[in-house]
Structure 1
Amino acid sequence: MIRLTISKDKKYFINGNKKFFYLADTCWSAFTNISFEEWEEYLSYRKMQGFNVLQINILPQWDASQSDINIMPFKINKDGTFDFYSINEEYFHRAEKMIEIAVKKGFLPALVLLWCNYVPDTWASKLRETSKMPLDVVETYVEHVAKTFSKFCPIYIISGDTDFPAELTKNYYMLALNTIKKLSPECLTTMHLQGRLTELPEEFVNNKNLDFYMFQSGHNSAYRHMPYEMALNFYNKSVKKPIINAEPCYEQMGFSRGIYGRFTTFDVRKAAWQSLLSGASAGITYGAHGIWSWHKKGKEFEKNIGEVFDKPYDWRDALRFDGAWDYSFAKWIFEMYDLFEIEPLDAILNNTREIRMAGNPDLSTIVIYIPSNTTVIVNMKLENYNFIIIDLEKKYIANPTIETSNNKTIIHMHNFTSDVLIIGTK
């Protein structure tokens, strides 16, 4: 069973005595939508690909696809709302069994305690006025969660897709955070934030019960620079913690706000590498449009509320999108080249911030991500390095053409037509 701790330099995770690259899949709707047979099939495929973390919402995802499974975590009132004071033990027993199966296969669960629609004043709570959990239930609910899941040493994600518009909102999350940490001090904690939100309230930044940062660069086609901008923002916070982009754009997700178009394999790969080389180097989370909501062909998907995404693919089709392999390849690169301590380097002289560069503290290894082919000029004299270039689409490996002059390094245009990664080792 995976039991994570955090490195002394607050950059990465450790499992036992081994560095751990957090490679998560987004499976928010697992407990409400997935049969045990489907669960086994899904877990086996993702395990084969090298994934080691599953991000799951403990409570029903408000924007999940229609499910065949009629089971809820609380008893239902006559008006269809939840009776938060009456826990449905059958639901939690089923969820516990699903987590037990996943853990036995080598996965670490990352479980969301309170998605934002259950908390007052958040953006999503306004879309579901009757779904808010009473404050006096939070502690009892968290205690039940700990009793059910803490034996598996999960990560507890305190919030889901949240903003912090009011003191009451923060009170909910603070109570949940401090309660779960008191009951399960060995479990790491974090917070999943609303897309493009970087302003985590200081009381959470400074709280020792919060172990690492998560951000969401999101699914808005107008903000494709967010992966590196947000990574740098969290990297530069006064309190250092490991950083994860826990929701980059999902593969084949329709653009938010109902804008025509979908994110491609290239888009999700680009978001990953720009995050990893800009400070969010503890790992990365993948998402497929059809897995997160667990969609089945012929079932309903409400696309006219919230972010207004286009229809998902059937989950079995989404499971086999190519982008998942790109994310597992990133994990392989980090492990092969021991990139766990890399830091972003501001040394690219090209007139763009899209090209990202990072290196180990002693600069024994440097990595450059180039989304579109061009000659790259680096404001460093990178002599005595062995360089390779990797075509990230086809996984071809070649020798780049590189020269140094006037304390600068010139990386000439390569012969590939996709995005590339350049790795230099002394």
Structure 2
Amino acid sequence: MRIASLILLLTLYSMAHAQNPAFPLKRLSNKRYLADQQNKPFLINAATGWKIYTKLTLEEVGEYFQWRKKQGFNTILTQVCMHEDDINRYQQRPFSDNNDFSKPNDAYFNHIVAVNKMADTMGLLIVMSQPWQGCCLEGWGMTAEKPLQRNGEKKCYGLGKYFGRKFHSLNNLMWIMGGDQDPLGDRACIEAMAKGIFETAPHQYITYHAKPTHSSTDLYQYAPWLGISMIYTYWRDKPNAWVSSYPQMIEVYEMALREYMKTDIIPFFLGEAQYEGFEGNDIGTAYIARRQAYWTVLCGGMGAAYGDDTWYFPPDWREKQKRYPGGNQLKHFYNFFASLEWWKLVPDYKHEVLVKGYGEMTKTNYVTAAISSDSSFFVAYIPFQQSVTVDLTKIKSSMVSANWYDPRTGTYSLIGNYTKPDLFYFTPPTNDDWVLYLSGK
């Protein structure tokens, strides 16, 4: 039964293989984005399935992938392993002899290979972490007694080379170093592991998952192995004790603009932010999930990750995922930008196009906006019902078509066609978040 179901699943998705991205990804000439081997820019629309390797069987992984594909996701974030005592559904541990990195369990990692190959067949990018460093001593790092430092640089380097060889054939794979934390005392071990991966699998991009408000380039701007940057923050007024020991949270758009304006250009995406859910750290809403994604792309990023409180796959993960509206609404985010030459967008952070009504920087009423490099179209994400003023002369056309795009339903409504008065006022139709789309006719 297990083999038959897998064959059916793979057959269904192989029928659509021609539309899948041609992995591996590569850097575009503008250095800000990645594209597939057919030069099609890749917009990351990721779901955080962190514990798929330990919590799900291969059949259940296929079910999960199919569901996320249906929701419009094209990328899955995962962890090789999160906890020192992790064991997968086939009773396999990642290492033997008290987590000795020189003694990886091939059976455990063969399961990961099978999962990632399935993802490739479905056209999914996998962004997979090293053994998770951890924010709060739950992972593999932070103290001398934990496996990262206990194994030392030599074994960490050897494990990196093992990873590079084991997963070398997977063109749909990128790597995450770190995990919810800055390097701290684990720095030498993390860098050695990254070096091992980079030397044996240079076609697989590597990023770094820092603690909130830090990006990969804040820590490793000039590391030869860093190929893409990850930003990570929540929002300024997040009411949660877990982040009380961290620096002041900033809004996603603040961090994205900070990353965009760095002089050394590197592609970046929102790797983690607020998850959708009802308790603990995961107290986000569908609205928060939407705004995080739009903010990132309109501030120069190449996509965003969505999370909910099923990331660790509790017994009711299927039912909970179907209850959360944010996971379904992110397909509208993807479809909107995928219909445009989104990689041409230049953030309007100097307010040269949207000249009034852009809200207040550091507040959630701030309007993020961007215009294409050829001035043919303009996009603004308006988080509340607030009037904005746009200089239509910035769009190179004798006539401008204006539309509202509903990020909840993915529907357009025509505002009107204009013969370009200098300034024009737009007010969203309801007290919700809306996308303003202007294009030349």
Task: Return closer, same or farther for 1:155/1:415 CA change in 2, 3 Å cut-off.
Answer: same
Q: In the aligned structure 1, how far is the partner of 2:298 from the partner of 2:205? A: 24
Q: In the aligned structure 2, how far is the partner of 1:382 from the partner of 1:255? A: 45
**SS across alignment from 1:329:** helix
Match of 2:59 in 1: 37
The one-letter amino acid of 2:390's match is V
The answer as to whether partners of 2:83 and 2:139 remain within 8 angstroms in 1 is: no
86-95 or 342-351, which deviates more: 342-351
The one-letter amino acid of 1:277's match is L
Task: List per-residue Cα deviations over 1:294-342 (Å, max 9, x = no partner).
Answer: 1114xxxxxxxxxxxxxxxx34422552212222222211221111121
Aligned pairs for 1:119-268 (under 5 A) are 125-126=141-142, 129-133=145-149, 134-135=151-152, 136-153=154-171, 154-165=173-184, 168-198=185-215, 200-201=217-218, 204-218=220-234, 221=238, 225-252=250-277, 254=279, 256=281, 262-268=283-289
1:364 aligns with 2:367: no
Q: In the aligned structure 2, how far is the partner of 1:130 from the partner of 1:409? A: 60
Q: In the aligned structure 2, how far is the partner of 1:198 from the partner of 1:37? A: 35
Q: In the aligned structure 1, how far is the partner of 2:420 from the partner of 2:249? A: 33
Match of 1:409 in 2: 424
2:403 to 382, 388, 395: 388
Deviation of 1:245 after TM superposition, in Å, equals: 0.3
Identity %: 20
Deviation of 1:356 after TM superposition, in Å, equals: 0.7
Deviation of 1:25 after TM superposition, in Å, equals: 1.4
Task: Return closer, same or farther for 1:422/1:118 CA change in 2, 3 Å cut-off.
Answer: closer
1:285 aligns with 2:308: no
Q: In the aligned structure 2, how far is the partner of 1:381 from the partner of 1:267? A: 32
Deviation of 1:422 after TM superposition, in Å, equals: 0.7
Q: Gaps spanning 5+ residues in structure 1: where?
A: 298-313
The answer as to whether partners of 1:189 and 1:209 remain within 8 angstroms in 2 is: yes
1:294 to 309, 313, 326: 313
Q: In the aligned structure 2, how far is the partner of 1:372 from the partner of 1:92? A: 47
Deviation of 1:407 after TM superposition, in Å, equals: 4.5
Q: In the aligned structure 1, how far is the partner of 2:131 from the partner of 2:88? A: 21
The answer as to whether partners of 1:403 and 1:410 remain within 8 angstroms in 2 is: no
95-104 or 222-231, which deviates more: 222-231
The one-letter amino acid of 2:180's match is D
Task: List per-residue Cα deviations over 1:58-90 (Å, max 9, x = no partner).
Answer: 1235799x976633201254xxxx333322222
The answer as to whether partners of 1:404 and 1:410 remain within 8 angstroms in 2 is: no
- How many residues in Structure 1 have an aligned counterpart in Structure 2? 394
Match of 1:85 in 2: 102
1:324 to 327, 349, 356: 327
Q: So what's the TM-score if we normalise by structure 1?
A: 0.83
Q: Gaps spanning 5+ residues in structure 2: where?
A: 1-21, 240-247
The one-letter amino acid of 2:52's match is A
Q: In the aligned structure 2, how far is the partner of 1:118 from the partner of 1:229? A: 23
Match of 2:19 in 1: none
Q: In the aligned structure 1, how far is the partner of 2:127 from the partner of 2:24? A: 12
The one-letter amino acid of 1:414's match is P
**SS across alignment from 2:41:** strand
Deviation of 1:39 after TM superposition, in Å, equals: 0.9
The answer as to whether partners of 1:139 and 1:179 remain within 8 angstroms in 2 is: yes
Deviation of 1:352 after TM superposition, in Å, equals: 2.1
Larger relative contact order (CA 8 Å, sep ≥ 6): 1
Deviation of 1:24 after TM superposition, in Å, equals: 1.6
Q: In the aligned structure 1, how far is the partner of 2:65 from the partner of 2:347? A: 33
169-178 or 48-57, which deviates more: 169-178
Q: In the aligned structure 1, how far is the partner of 2:433 from the partner of 2:142? A: 41
Q: In the aligned structure 1, how far is the partner of 2:85 from the partner of 2:415? A: 46
Deviation of 1:362 after TM superposition, in Å, equals: 2.1
Task: Return closer, same or farther for 1:128/1:142 CA change in 2, 3 Å cut-off.
Answer: same
Q: In the aligned structure 1, how far is the partner of 2:280 from the partner of 2:425? A: 36
Match of 1:310 in 2: none
Q: In the aligned structure 1, how far is the partner of 2:144 from the partner of 2:134? A: 7
Q: So what's the TM-score if we normalise by structure 2?
A: 0.80
1:425 aligns with 2:439: yes
